[in-house]
Amino acid sequence: MTAIRAAHLTKRYGQTTAVADLSFEVNPGQVTGFLGPNGAGKSTTMRMILGLDRPSAGQVTVGGVPYQDLKHPLRTIGALLDAKAVHGGRSARNHLLAIAQSNAIPRGRVEEVLAAVGLSDVARRRIGGFSLGMSQRLGIAAALLGDPEILLFDEPVNGLDPDGILWIRTFMRKQAAEGRAVFVSSHLMSEMAQTADHLIVIGKGRMIADTGVEEFIGRSSQGYVRVRSPRLSELAALLPAAESHADHLRVTGIPSLEIGRLAARHALELEELTFVQPTLEAAYMELTKDSLEFSS
Amino acid sequence: MIDVLTSEWTKMRSVRSTMWTYAAGFLLMLGFALLVSISVANTREPIDGMTGFDITVMGTPFASIAMATLGVLVISSEYRTGMIRTSLQAVPQRLTLLSAKVLVFTVATALISAAATAVTFFAVQPILAGKGLDTALGDPEVLRALIGTALFLTAGGLLGLALGALIRHTPGAILSAVGLILVAPQLSQLLPGAWGAAVSKHFTTNAGSKVMALETGPGSLGPWQGFAVYLAWVAVIMIAAAVLMRRRDA
């Protein structure tokens, strides 16, 4: 069953359109990366999924129903939008207890999720004094309270140290492996390359790509062959498609084997002939270069 | 609904501001009455225009501000910190969330207000007795005025909560509460003509305070009539807040 389904989701603020006609699905058993430059409309979309912002047009359902119709929503979907959006005066335990009670989640579950994120020892401390990493874990604990089938995270690794990033990455993979639908936003392609199975890429509020990670790389960028040679200009003349750089040529569309043969035929000595794999990063940059909010 | 009420009670009892503002309200109530009754008991001059009961409930306007401040904080602190988004994720039916806050806050504030009023009453009567200014619980209208005082304090708290939900900004909502409870009612007395007098008579606490007076003058609103007018002010602001809360993005 589809975990999240958005249909023609649109959000306008006066003249500005933050999200335009987005339709997509998030499915169980995988991590779906929600990717786009800052200001692309990722957070707005997530707030609409959670019923916090009202769409200007279109609709979105969670587990088949609009968010407002979920009786105990935390048992269906757990979300972490902003780890610092908590009352700093409350202890971690009371914070989670208040959230649990609102959805008729037993008190014992609070201790379980505290242990799961490694915060049992600081359960009595005021949240105001927590580091970003601890706050992030607390937010994840809150998302896990209802043991939901769907998890949603907005930029969960922002500002975390490498340990924290690794922890969250492993955590998300584990949740997906257990059959949950994980929907996670990021503006960092490299992060998604290591975590996501499926990608939804948006720019300026519009859909750019909705595809598997592998296809995404394959489709948008083919990679190139780097050629270095003492007789670069002669070689360049033979390869009209090549892009000339100071000490090498960048050839797209011709396999390295062919380039090697061509050089041999003309007795041109080669110093390097390398196929450069396309990276997710490059694919992403290429796709979003037209939709950056602030381009230089 | 029970789940949401329990949750709101946990939220309220687990922050320090709750205890501090209730303590402040309690002490303002008791402190003013003690201070004035002790100085009256130790003065030779007769005091005119003020009954012993007036002195007993002297701190009410100030205690009312403390209750209103807590009312504001109950909801505005959620908007300030962003906690409101977590609360609405857990309880997406916004009016359910608001009603639960109102209910929990009303019960807690009514209990604290009743305790503060009772303790103050019994603490100062022996002091006032020295000048023969004391009143007994069995005297006419006294019990009604004491219950009225506790209700007046609770209504002030609710006015704060309604303003907090409407304005969503702590300082702005607290200032508005002070304006509506203390300042504007006084200023309204300067309004000219019969029309001005009518407005002033029905203005928030000008009407609401009748419920804690032992006697209301001729042409004045009755105790319960006046309190009903005050509650109508609270209700109008609360309804505006509820309508906006349903419509606005969180």
Are A214 and A235 members of one domain?
Answer: no
Please choose, from the candidates B92, B200, B194, B231, the residue with its C-alpha nearest in 3D space to the C-alpha of residue A67.
B92
pLDDT confidence band for A182 (50 / 70 / 90) = very high
H helix intervals, chain B: 2-13, 16-41, 52-56, 60-81, 83-90, 94-129, 142-167, 170-178, 184-188, 193-201, 204-208, 223-247
How far B222 CA lies from chain A's nearest CA (Å)?
42
Q: Residue A46 falls within a domain, yes or no?
A: yes
Q: Domain for residue A295, yes or no? A: no
The percentage of chain A sitting over the pLDDT mark of 70, rounded to a whole number, equals 93
Coil/strand/helix, residue A247:
coil
Mean pLDDT is lowest, of A77-81, A290-294, B30-34, for A290-294
Which residues of chain B make contact with A82, given a CB cutoff of 8 A?
82, 85
For residue B6, what are its two tokens?
A: 């329990």
Q: Given phi > 0 = left and psi -120 to 50 = alpha, else beta, which region is B235?
A: alpha
Tokens found for residue A115? 């242990």
Q: Which residue has the tokens 């990455």?
A: A169
Q: Treating both helix axes as pointing N-terminal to C-terminal, what angle do B2-13 and A92-102 enclose, rounded to 10 degrees?
A: 160
Does A16 lie in the same domain as A111?
A: yes
If asked whether residues A84 and A145 sit together in one domain, one would say yes
Residue B126: CB partners within 8 Å, gap ≥ 6? B134
CA distance linking residue B83 with residue A83, whole number of Å: 10
- Show residues of chain A in contact with B87, CB under 8 Å: 102
Q: For residues A97-126, give the mean pLDDT.
A: 96
Question: What share of chain A has pLDDT > 90, as a percent?
Answer: 56
A67 in reach of chain B (CB within 8 A): yes
Measured between CB atoms, which of A70, A101, A142 is closest to B6? A101
> What residues in A contact B170, CB-CB < 8 Å?
none
Q: What is the pLDDT of residues A41-50, one digit of tens each?
A: 999 999 999 9
Instruction: State which amino acid sits at residue B6.
Output: T
- Residue A249, domain extent: 224-276
Q: Is residue A283 part of a domain?
A: no
Distance in angstroms (rounded) separating the CA atoms of residues A241 and A105: 64
Q: Which residues of B touch A68 (CB under 8 A)?
A: 92-93
Q: Is the pLDDT of residue A266 over 60?
A: yes
**CA–CA separation, B120 vs B114, rounded Å?**
10
More confident site: A38 or B225: B225
- Cβ distance A98 to B7 less than 8 Å, yes or no, reads yes
Q: Are residues A182 and A261 in the same domain?
A: no
As a 3-state breakdown, chain A gives helix, strand, coil percent values, each rounded to 5, of 35, 25, 35
Whether A10 and A72 share a structural domain: yes
How many domains does the structure of chain B reveal? 1
Q: CA-CA distance, A179 to A147, in Å (whole number)?
A: 12
Which pLDDT does position A280 carry in this prediction? 66
A99: closest CA of chain B, how far (Å): 7
Same domain (yes/no): A106, A244: no
Q: Which residues of A touch B78 (CB under 8 A)?
A: 87
Interchain pair B15, A85: CB under 8 A: no
Rounded to the nearest angstrom, the minimum Cα separation between A119 and chain B is: 18
Q: Where are the beta strands (DSSP E) in A130-268?
A: 150-154, 181-186, 198-203, 206-212, 224-228, 243-244, 249-251
Whether residue B73 lies within 8 A of chain A, CB to CB, comes out as no
Q: Per the domain annotation, does A286 fall within a domain?
A: no
Q: What is the pLDDT along chain B (250 residues), one digit of tens a residue?
A: 899 999 999 999 999 999 999 999 999 999 999 999 998 888 877 677 788 899 999 999 999 999 999 999 999 999 999 999 999 999 999 999 999 999 999 999 999 999 999 999 999 999 998 888 889 888 889 999 999 999 999 999 999 999 999 999 999 999 999 999 999 999 999 999 899 999 999 999 999 999 999 888 888 899 999 999 999 999 999 999 999 999 998 8
**Is A158 inside a domain boundary?**
yes
Same domain, A211 and A78: yes
A49 and A114: one domain? yes
Number of domains in chain A: 2
Q: Quick check: is A45 in a domain?
A: yes
Q: Indicate if A168 and A236 belong to the same structural domain.
A: no
Q: How confident is the model at residue A222 (pLDDT cuts 50, 70, 90)?
A: low
Average pLDDT for A248-269: 86
Tell me which long-range contacts B171-179 makes (C-beta under 8 A, separation of at least 24).
B173/B72, B173/B76, B174/B68, B174/B69, B174/B72, B177/B65, B177/B68, B177/B69, B177/B71, B177/B72, B178/B65, B178/B68
Question: Does A233 lie at the interface with B, CB-CB under 8 angstroms?
Answer: no
A86–B83 C-beta distance less than 8 A: yes
The pLDDT, as a whole number, for residue A86 is: 93
Tokens 């509020």, residue located: A205
| Average per-residue pLDDT for chain A | 89
Give the three-class secondary structure for B16: helix
Q: A156 and A182, same structural domain?
A: yes
Report the alpha-carbon distance of residue B67 to residue B159 in Å, rounded. Answer: 9
| Residues B214-237 as b or e (16 or more Cβ within 10 Å = b) | bebeeeebebeebbbbbbebbeeb
Cβ–Cβ of A98/B11 closer than 8 Å? Answer: yes
Q: Which ipTM was obtained for this model?
A: 0.90
Cα→Cα distances B25→A147, B22, B28, Å: 42, 5, 5
**A53 contact residues in B (CB cutoff 8 A):** 249-250
CATH number of the domain bearing residue A43: 3.40.50.300
**Has residue A282 been placed in a domain?**
no
Phi/psi-derived region of residue B221, left when phi > 0, alpha when psi is between -120 and 50, beta in every other case = beta
How many other C-beta atoms lie within 10 A of the C-beta of residue B159?
29
- Which of A70, A88, A100 lies nearest to residue B92, judging by beta carbons? A70
Residues A234 and A183 in one domain: no
Task: State the smallest CA–CA distance between residue B250 and chain A in angstroms.
Answer: 5
* Averaged pLDDT, A121-145: 94
Q: Which of A69, A101, A107, A110 should we substitute to test contact with B (largest number of B Cβ atoms within 10 Å)?
A: A101
Q: Are residue A109 and residue A236 in the same domain, yes or no?
A: no
Distance from the Cα of A90 to chain B's closest Cα (Å) equals 6
Nearest chain B residue (CA) to A88: B81
- Residues contacting A160, CB < 8 A, separation 6+: A132, A133, A136, A168
What is the pLDDT, as a whole number, of residue A218? 67
Does the residue A43 lie in any domain?
Answer: yes
Could you tell me the residue range of the domain that residue B235 belongs to? Answer: 2-247
pLDDT at A275 over 60: yes
At A295 the pLDDT is 45
Q: Residue A8 above 70 pLDDT?
A: yes
**Structural element, H or E, at residue A19:** strand A16-26
- Of A219, A245, A265, which one is at a domain's C-terminal end? A219
- Tell me what pLDDT residue A296 has: 42
